[in-house]
Amino acid sequence: MEEFLQQLINGLSLGAIYALIALGYTMIYGVLRFINFAHGDVFMIGTYIGFFILTSSFGQALGPGFGTAVIVFLAAMLGCGLLGVTIEFLAYRPLRTRPKLTVLITAIGVSFFLEYTGQLSFVFGADPRTFPTVVEKTMVVQSGSLVIDSYQIIIFVVAIVLMLGLRMLIMKTRIGTALRASSMNLNAASLMGINTNAVISFTFFVGSALAGAGAILYAMSYPKINPLMGILPGLKAFIAAVLGGIGNISGAAVGGFIIGSAETMTAGYISPTLRDAIVFAILIFILIVKPSGLFGQGGTEKV
C-alpha cells in the first residue's frame, strides 16, 4: 500500500508538469485546430531562461530561496509567453489561410530550428548543463518507506494554482469569453467584434507561459538540461492532451495526471525501462478505442 501511495504521489507530481504543458497544446489546438509541435521546445527554452538567471551574478547573489523561485518562475513564464507569441506571429500567422498541413509542417520546422539552434556552441551548446538549486529540498513526510519531499508539494501546488487561475481567466474575464467563443468558431467570433488575432496571440502567450512554469518545475526535479530535452516531455504532454480530448482544457489537466501516474506506476511495478513505452501504448490504445479522447467531442480532423 505504501509503495502504491508513493508511486501515486510521484506520478501526480510528474503528471502536474505534463498537465501544464498539455494545456498549451490543447488551448492552441482549440483556437487554431493545429498541433504546435514546437511547444515542447518552448518548454526547453524555459529551462534555459531559469538556468541563465540562476547562474548569472544576479542569481548567484540571491542564492536559493523563495524570492529567487518567484523571480525564476515569472521570468520563465514571461520569456516563454513572448517566445510563443513571436513564433505564432512570424511562422504561423502568414500561413493562416493555407491548408492546416502546411502550418503543421512549419511547426515541426520551428521545433527543429529551436532544438538545433540551441545546440550551437554560442547559444546553449549541445552538452547538458546542471540546473542550479532554486530552493532547498526538504523532506516533508517520511514514514516507513513513504517519502514526500518539498519539491513534490511545490510542483503540485504551483500546477494547481496555475490551473485554477487559468480556469478563472477563461470563465470569468472578457478576454476569456472571447477565447471560448473563438475556439468554438473563429469566423463567428470575429463577426461579434472580437479581434481574433489578439485572441490568438493571447492564447499563445498563456499556453507558452504555462509551459515556462512547467519547465522550471521539471528542471527542479530533473536538473540535467539540454537543447533536446523538450522532445520527450513535449510528446508525453501532447499524448496527455489527446487522452483528455484535444481542445478540452480540463481534459488536458486530467490527461496529464493520468500519463504521469501511468509512467511512475509502470516504472515502479513493472520495469523502469518501460516508462516511456507505456505512454505511447496509451496513445495507440486511445486512438483505437476513443480517438476523441476522454472528454472530447466527436468529429474528425485531418492532421
Site residues (CB under 8 A) for other proteins?
177-178, 180-181, 184-185, 187-197
Whether 150 and 78 have beta carbons less than 8 Å apart is answered as: no
Q: State in angstroms the smallest separation of the CB of 195 from other proteins.
A: 5
C-alpha cell belonging to residue 38: 514546437
205 Cβ partners below 8 Å, 6+ apart?
Answer: 81, 82, 84, 85
CB of 191 to other proteins, least distance (A): 5
- Specify the residue, 161 or 184, whose C-beta has the smaller distance to other proteins: 184
Least Cα distance to 64 among 151, 127, 139 occurs for: 151
Provide, rounded to whole angstroms, the least separation between the CB of residue 294 and other proteins.
Answer: 17
Q: Which is nearer to other proteins, 30 or 118 (CB)?
A: 30
Question: What's the closest the beta carbon of residue 192 comes to other proteins, in angstroms?
Answer: 5
3 state DSSP class of 140: strand
Based on CB atoms, which residue is closest to other proteins, 117 or 173?
173
The DSSP annotation for 35-55 comes to --TTHHHHHHHHHHHHHHHHH
β-bridge mates for residue 289, sequence order: none
Cβ atoms of 252 and 26 within 8 Å: the answer is yes
Q: Which is nearer to other proteins, 144 or 193 (CB)?
A: 193
Nearer to other proteins, 141 or 192 (CB): 192
166-193 in b/e form (b: 16+ CB < 10 A) is beeebeeeebbebbbbbbeebeebeeee
Q: How far apart are the first and last CA of the chain?
A: 43
Min separation Cβ 175 and other proteins, Å = 11
Instruction: Say how far residue 273 (Cα) sits from the centre of its chain.
Output: 23
Least spacing, CB of residue 299 vs other proteins, in Å:
11
Nearer residue to other proteins within complex by CB, 30 or 81: 30
